[in-house]
Structure 1
Amino acid sequence: MHLTRLRGACDPKPTCPTLYLTDRGSFIVQGYIVASESSSPLPEREAEVEVPVTMLWTSPSATSPETPAVRLTGHGTAIVRGELVDDAEALALLALPAGETAVEVPISLLPEVVPNAH
């Protein structure tokens, strides 16, 4: 899987919340691991990560849209739900530190994301 880094919350460090575009019509969202807030557990291959809202929308507002894959927290972050990244090449590039993971979501689930490389 080829990744193109779009933007991150701790530029220029690569090991903090970061958004990538893949070569297979999806985004990789690297963020802080969160426990599921729902009463039922997530499916085995899914996870949720917390990232700054500004990473998803270049001009966030109080009306930034929620989607099936994104929940706004109300304190400047969003929870993104997706499939855990298991591609060895991608994981090597991400070098995920403790407390972070990465999920993959189809571009169609985050249509408001403007993929401008920063």
Structure 2
Amino acid sequence: MKLRFLGKNSTPGDSPTLYATDQDSYVVQGWRIYAQDLLMQLDVPEGQTAVEVPIELFEHLAKDGLASGEIKRFEAPIMICTENGTCIVQGPMMRDAEALSQMRLPDYEDCIEVPRSSITALLEDSSGPDHPRPA
């Protein structure tokens, strides 16, 4: 799998990162979750994991030809939005050796692969008078 770097919202050595793949998916690299209060809210099946990233990371989707990277729907694969402006994203653990070799993945980070359609669905506004957008 080939990766194309879209962007990161971090400082050197602290690197949540977003990549597009040649497999019609995105790779989301983020911080491993150690906070028990967050872990208790998740149901992570075998073969999946969850990572924490700044919500602004998705603004880099515009570099993949999407009109905007503004998240308008907070549903799977985004599982939790935190008070700190981050979100917990869950999906299949990245196991592709070629893709992993293209990344710098510190010990305290992990990455997941998410279908492009799952991410682009989050950019569509489904709110209306009966469906307010979460704060």
Give the TM-score of the pair, scaled to structure 1.
0.80
1:50 matched to 2:52:
yes
Moved over 4 A (4+): 58-61
Matched, 1:77 2:89: no
State percent identity of aligned pairs. 35
Which segment drifts farther, 80-89 or 28-37?
Answer: 28-37
Q: Does 1:38 align with 2:41?
A: yes
Which ranges in structure 1 are unaligned for 5 or more consecutive residues?
114-118
Structure with higher Rg: it is 2
Gaps of at least 5 residues in structure 2 are 61-67, 125-135
Aligned to 1:105: 114
User: Residue 67 of structure 1 is aligned with which of 52, 75, 80?
Assistant: 75
Normalized per residue, the structure richer in helix is: 2
> Could you say which residue in structure 1 is the equivalent of 2:99?
90
Q: Is contact 1:31–1:51 with CA below 8 Å preserved after alignment? A: yes
TM-score of the pair, normalised by structure 2: 0.70
Q: How many residues were matched structurally?
A: 110
Q: CA RMSD in A?
A: 2.6
